[in-house]
Amino acid sequence: MVVPRLIERKRSGQALRDDEWRELVAGYTAGTVPDYQMSALLMAVMFKGLTHQELAALTGAMLDSGARFTRTAGGAPRVDKHSTGGVGDKTSLILAPLLAACGVAVPMMSGRGLGHTGGTLDKLEAIPGFTTQLSLEAAARQLDDIGVVMLGQTEEIVPADRKLYALRDVTGTVESIPLITASIMSKKLAEALDGLVLDVKVGSGAFIPEPARARELARTMVAVGERAGCRTVALLTAMDRPLGRTAGNALEVREAVEALKGEGRADLLEVTLALGVAMLRLARPAVTAAEAMSTLRDTIASGAALERMAVLVERQGGDPRVLSRPELLPVAPVRRELTAAEQFTMPPLSPRAVGELIVELGGGRRIASDTVNPAVGIEFPVMAGAPVDGDAQWAVIHAQNEAAADHAGRVLRELLDEASRSGGDILPLVMETISAGDLEPPEGA
Ligand code: URA
């Protein structure tokens, strides 16, 4: 392999062969292909894209750079969900135990919050004692035993992505749809799934805000999943305002537990159940959407979903008493309610700005090594589009000290003014579903 020739071919829009992608990825992971050559190649991909065949080859080569979850024959159907990231998105905390209680095996491998978006691992670690650092072997054992495991990406999974993502981050090559697809799908395929549901966020707080590009990403990921033998469905969902009532790690655990008790707010439930229906139908293709919905609702109503959460928390070292006594979760010293003198309609507050405010409060990270304060965050008692009565609370700040609460109050009032002035429409929470039948046949078919 002569790397400069491969870069030149890609730069002029030609496709590289499967074996060339394999050698490139293996060489880069092993350190024989240097960063400067890989950077040039990534930039060529950014401008020229990849064919379906190349994308499958790149994803497969990345997948093969590391270990996978083991899979014994038979057993429960294995399904996971992945989100492109949002603010207030605690759907994973609800879906993992809920689907497990419906007989689906859920190996949920998640990330940490970075920038304005939150991360499932940080939320779980708000539960005293909960560990998300499990070996693949321990995770596979737990999955067999209780049908659910929630863990961080281990060192063994797709090491090529760890290196490539760090390089993309500093070479202006993150926003390439084929590169995002290979990065996400190689990690998800390492879970040896039967089915995968992708929650692709759309709107100002989304990784890719524009609906057309988000749709393209969704279609590309569905195509790669299906081609790799994993049934894949994508939902486009709204991230033009935070999802649900809370943003901030411990607050979101509380809200997720309420949802598992059947007390979830309508916006959170709508997105969670839409994703859950898609997951359940991938596990059991004969089930209709209406049947899947009633199974999910019954599993919450019976207490089985909450019970599975208790088993999960205990198994991963957490204190299961937080499920019945949420005051055992970290609580911020300062609680500040924001009210308005007159009635108004709650506008969609910028999730990006809310996420950045949570980082300022200490609840998120600017750089990967920052530590996170699990207790801080913001509650939004009223859904976007609903009226807020005069004197009623429209936000509640949970801060580490008075000065931080003062600052958050100022920022939130500005955000409210700005959002009220711009008076934009609110996106539908669940905008579109994309599955294999919605794709064009691949080239050469
Ligand atoms: N998340 C990932 O895991 N990879 C990307 O490239 C983008 C988002």
- The confidence score (pLDDT) of residue 112 equals 85
| Known catalytic membership, residue 352 | no
Q: In whole angstroms, what is the distance from residue 378 CA to residue 399 CA? A: 9
Rg (CA), the chain: 22
Mean pLDDT of 412-441: 92
Tracing tokens 């950077």 back to the chain, one arrives at 39
- Cα(64) to centroid(ligand 1), Å: 18
| Nearest CA owner, ligand 1 atom 8 | 180
Dihedral angle over CA of 164, 239, 395, 355, nearest 10: 10
- The confidence score (pLDDT) of residue 320 equals 97
- The confidence score (pLDDT) of residue 86 equals 93
Residue in 110, 183, 186, 435 annotated catalytic: 183
Q: What angle do CA 152, 156, 161 make, to 5 degrees?
A: 80
What's the farthest any 2 CA atoms get from each other in the chain? Answer: 70
The total number of residues shown for the chain amounts to: 445
For the cut 60, the answer to whether the pLDDT of residue 445 exceeds it is no
- The confidence score (pLDDT) of residue 366 equals 84
Chain segment 373-386, per-residue pLDDT in tens:
999 999 999 999 99
Residue in 22, 187, 215, 281 annotated catalytic: 187
Chain segment 281-301, per-residue pLDDT in tens:
999 999 999 999 999 999 999
Is residue 111 classed exposed, middle or buried when 0-12, 13-18 and 19+ CB atoms within 10 A define those classes?
middle
Is residue 413 classed exposed, middle or buried when 0-12, 13-18 and 19+ CB atoms within 10 A define those classes?
middle
The alpha carbon of residue 439 and the mean position of all alpha carbons in its chain are separated, in whole angstroms, by: 23
Cβ atoms 105, 191 nearer than 8 A: no
For the cut 90, the answer to whether the pLDDT of residue 327 exceeds it is yes
Chain segment 59-92, per-residue pLDDT in tens:
999 999 999 998 877 789 999 999 999 999 999 9
What are the start-end ranges of the E strands in 132-188?
Answer: 148-152
Mean pLDDT of the chain: 95
- Cα(180) to centroid(ligand 1), Å: 5
- The confidence score (pLDDT) of residue 324 equals 97
Any ligand 1 atom below 6 A from CB of 153: no
- The confidence score (pLDDT) of residue 433 equals 98
Is residue 157 classed exposed, middle or buried when 0-12, 13-18 and 19+ CB atoms within 10 A define those classes?
buried
Any ligand 1 atom below 6 A from CB of 183: yes
Q: In whole angstroms, what is the distance from residue 46 CA to residue 313 CA? A: 42
Q: In whole angstroms, what is the distance from residue 66 CA to residue 268 CA? A: 35
Q: In whole angstroms, what is the distance from residue 139 CA to residue 313 CA? A: 14
Q: In whole angstroms, what is the distance from residue 184 CA to residue 437 CA? A: 21
Q: In whole angstroms, what is the distance from residue 90 CA to residue 312 CA? A: 16
- The confidence score (pLDDT) of residue 443 equals 60
Chain segment 354-409, per-residue pLDDT in tens:
999 999 999 998 888 889 999 999 999 999 999 999 899 999 999 999 999 999 99
| Nearest CA owner, ligand 1 atom 7 | 180
- Cα(67) to centroid(ligand 1), Å: 19
Q: In whole angstroms, what is the distance from residue 239 CA to residue 207 CA? A: 9
For the cut 60, the answer to whether the pLDDT of residue 444 exceeds it is no
| Known catalytic membership, residue 161 | yes
Q: Would you put residue 435 in left (φ > 0), alpha (ψ -120 to 50) or beta? A: beta
Q: In whole angstroms, what is the distance from residue 337 CA to residue 351 CA? A: 19
Q: What is the pLDDT confidence band of residue 248, given thresholds at 50, 70 and 90?
A: very high
- The confidence score (pLDDT) of residue 1 equals 87
- The confidence score (pLDDT) of residue 180 equals 95
- Cα(194) to centroid(ligand 1), Å: 21
Q: Which long-range contacts (CB under 8 A, 24 or more apart) does 168-172 make?
A: 168/42, 171/39, 171/42, 171/43, 172/43, 172/46
Mean pLDDT of 31-37: 97
| Known catalytic membership, residue 82 | yes
Q: What is the position in ligand 1's atom list of the atom closest to the CA of 180? A: 6
Determine the residue of 114, 120, 179, 184 to mutate for testing ligand 1's pocket, defined as the one with the most ligand atoms within 8 A of the Cβ atom. 184
Mean pLDDT of 133-143: 94
Mean pLDDT of 241-251: 98
In the chain, pLDDT over 70 holds for what percent of residues? 99
Any ligand 1 atom below 6 A from CB of 180: yes
Q: What is the position in ligand 1's atom list of the atom closest to the CA of 174? A: 6
- The confidence score (pLDDT) of residue 194 equals 97
Mean pLDDT of 182-198: 97
Mean pLDDT of 209-218: 97
